[in-house]
Structure 1
């Protein structure tokens, strides 16, 4: 699965399912579900539940499994996508009129229930109210979307991969990373030692995170008046005592904040670069469309 600004291939939506003993031709496929339920989880989070019979084939390769969500533009009832769903879908989507083509965003699987053919998507509502936030707040049962989601566990859309021999884990993220953090913690073996720092906008965003891991979770409520968004997280990280043993760190959230944390860990804390997985889920002041344009321009100039 692509990172926040890269491409991944998909399988044709109309191909026959492979034999049980054969891997799928591609680890991804397009689905075209409808909204069945919407629930406000907290001031900053809205959960939208999607359903279509084909989602019974959706799988997850890990706690931070990514997928692509396509939303209709204002005035449309369904997202406009290329007619082809082969491995050229991304190039064809990029070639479409950006005022018409479906809005594409990257999300984490918040929950998947193949027996019910349902997929949960949790939307973080930023103050800028971009197209995804606006859509999520107005979503109603029956609304239609499209998703490019995994149909094989080995799909490249999972970053959380602690190496063998890891003694303890550091997890950090903001509200955009809460779905991944919740899934990661829920899936850890009992007794796994974890330090987690989670920054949110409101005290009510501190949601339950069930786990059998030996997890110490520190919630940080962001000061909206703070001139430096990274300062609070960095101060809390610097004050966090690290256990002895081999660490593994997973960092996600706003890109600049994630980079600052990585620099602190490799510098002041001496953590090996290879022991850190980091993902900029979003960038302050930039949309995913702008990041995709920048990535395309960089690729064209290389």
Structure 2
């Protein structure tokens, strides 16, 4: 008899509920989710992402397809039953206590995730598609500098702040990092944990809206970079990070393979 091997999925669905919420800053809310299934979740630190599914009005739990074809099935769902889905960064995972933290940027009722988070209460239920601890290879994170990297450049707006915080917390003690974070106002500035040698530059819009990363581009354009091979990690508004990557490659001579960039959101549109 031939043994049948079942492929272990890299991401699986975790049914969880809100345990508590904590206001990190005027515009940032930390939501702690809990549930026994989280003992099967894994976290590599850094910018590890999950998919968050929110219940529709009148639902206790969102209706979410499971299995290897979940995304095709999700996209085929009728609008009346299709739950909002958004991508977030794991801020911290504590599998022994079955808890997972996600930081939300609050911008009023401009999107389903911000609207939900602003009203979240203990017991509210969601579904999280997260990394499976049973999978031999950990997937779902992108911060992967080569071993011979000499220094790190991190840049992004407030939506990238949870990932930047995770990356800095895991930075080797000997690693130098230049960090540029654009936020709505100076009230969002706070200490960031870091074991390495990081120089953090906060850029405030003084209450203005995020309109494409002009502050980031200007500040990085003026910055004096350390010598040696860099690794750049850029995330935030899509057009902003695309422009930053172009500047680093064309104007600063950084090899494109040493630049990771991700459009977390797009002006005037939603990215699932």
TM-score, length of structure 2 as denominator length: 0.92
Matched, 1:233 2:182: no
- The aligned residue for residue 269 of structure 1 is 252
In the TM superposition, what are the counterparts of 1:31-180 in structure 2 within 5 Å?
31-82=14-65, 85-126=66-107, 129-152=110-133, 154-180=137-163
Instruction: State the alpha-carbon separation in 1 of the partners of residues 180 and 216 from structure 2.
Output: 8
Residue number in structure 2 paired with 1:293? none
In 2, distance between residues paired with 1:54 and 1:275?
A: 36
Q: CA RMSD in A?
A: 1.9
SS of the equivalent of 1:132 reads helix
Match of 1:299 in 2: none
Is the CA contact (8 Å cut-off) linking 2:131 and 2:139 kept in structure 1?
A: no
Q: Deviations over 1:56-77 (max 9, x none)?
A: 1211134000111100112222
Change (3 A) 1:190 1:146: same
Assess, with a 3 A threshold, how the Cα gap between structure 1 residues 210 and 128 changes in structure 2: closer, same or farther.
same
- Alpha-carbon distance in structure 1 between the residues aligned to 2:192 and 2:249: 28
Runs of 4+ in 1 over 6 A off after TM superposition: none
- How many residue pairs are counted as aligned between the two chains? 266
Distance change in 2, residues 1:81/1:184 (3 Å): same
Aligned residue for 1:193?
A: 176
SS at match of 1:33: strand
Q: How far 1:24 sits from its partner (Å)? A: 7.5
Question: What is the CA deviation profile of residues 152-211 of structure 1, one whole-angstrom value per residue up to 9, with x for unaligned ones?
Answer: 473331110001210111000111111111110001111211000011112121122111
- Per residue, is there more strand in 1 or in 2? 2
CA distance in structure 2 between the aligned counterparts of 1:250 and 1:210, rounded to whole angstroms: 18
After TM superposition, the structure 1 = structure 2 runs for residues 283-302 of structure 1, keeping only pairs within 5 Å, are 283-288=266-271
Find the aligned partners of 1:216 and 1:110 in 2 and give their Cα distance: 21
Helix, strand or coil: the match of 1:32? strand
Structure 1 length as normaliser, TM-score?
A: 0.84
CA contact (8 A) 2:184 2:209 kept: no
